A and B are shown apart, each in its own frame.
Chain A
């Protein structure tokens, strides 16, 4: 593993189903983030974690949950998917929450029907 990986690359999901998007980084970064990117809108922060064991809500947290059991992994769960959650999801990390640069994973394209 080099940098940040996300899985799956893409997914089509029926509404009402539960889905977990996976994110793993091998840079030993303390801070991790989940964003969604929709056409015509900027990246919007869903949830973040400044260090293992802690999480926080971003701009659009409703319908999503996260956990940070260790430094490397930061999964994002949709408990009951809805069509408005159709989007491209990016995981990112930075050395600390005040670091200058965030590094992004390749993204997961999710379609909820």
Chain B
């Protein structure tokens, strides 16, 4: 079966760094996405990885290891506005997104 695993909830301090992990098992693989979703709002795209390695975009970075079926999202210099759910999703061989349940990130002052 297809499965995405990520922690349900994490807590971090404003100004700190946090890493949100995601493991995936899919039928085929065409890339790994991270989306941000604030409470009551729609998901918005953060990053896409299809090759192994680290992609950096400002305060956010995303890493992929295809051989391990593993990705992480790294958030630096945390701000209160980063409090949100972070959704990991893998694109399978049919180009359909398989979604994790999301990690709720709580930022404390």
Q: What is the minimal beta-carbon distance from A60 to any residue of chain B, in angstroms?
A: 12
Per-residue contact bits, chain B 71-109, to A (CB 8 Å; 1 contact, 0 not)? 000000000000000010100000111111110000000
Contact of A48 among B4, B44, B89, B96 (CB under 8 A): B96
Contact of A42 among B31, B95, B96, B99 (CB under 8 A): B99
Answer whether residue A100 sits at the interface, using C-beta atoms and an 8 A cutoff. yes
Q: Which of A38-58 contact B (CB under 8 A)?
A: 40-45, 48, 58
Contacts of B42 in A (CB 8 A): 90, 104-107
Q: What is the minimal beta-carbon distance from B100 to any residue of chain A, in angstroms?
A: 5
Per-residue contact bits, chain A 86-106, to B (CB 8 Å; 1 contact, 0 not)? 000010000001101111111
Q: Which of B1-47 contact A (CB under 8 A)?
A: 4, 30-31, 33, 41-45
Tally of A interface residues using CB under 8 Å: 19
Q: Is the CB of B45 within 8 A of A43?
A: no
Q: Is the CB of A104 within 8 A of B43?
A: yes
Complex alpha-carbon distance, A42 and B100, angstroms: 5
If A90-B43, A98-B30 touch, whether A42 touches B48 (CB-CB below 8 Å) is no
Q: What is the minimal beta-carbon distance from B87 to any residue of chain A, in angstroms?
A: 7
Contact of B99 among A44, A98, A106, A107 (CB under 8 A): A44
Contacts of B44 in A (CB 8 A): 104
Complex alpha-carbon distance, A42 and B87, angstroms: 8
Contacts of B97 in A (CB 8 A): 43, 45, 102
Contact of B31 among A45, A90, A100 (CB under 8 A): A100
The 20 listed contacts between A and B (C-beta, < 8 Å) are A40-B101, A42-B98, A42-B99, A42-B100, A43-B43, A43-B87, A43-B97, A44-B99, A45-B96, A45-B97, A48-B96, A97-B95, A101-B33, A101-B45, A102-B45, A102-B97, A104-B43, A104-B44, A106-B42, A107-B41
Residues of B within 8 A of A (CB): 4, 30-31, 33, 41-45, 48, 87, 89, 95-102
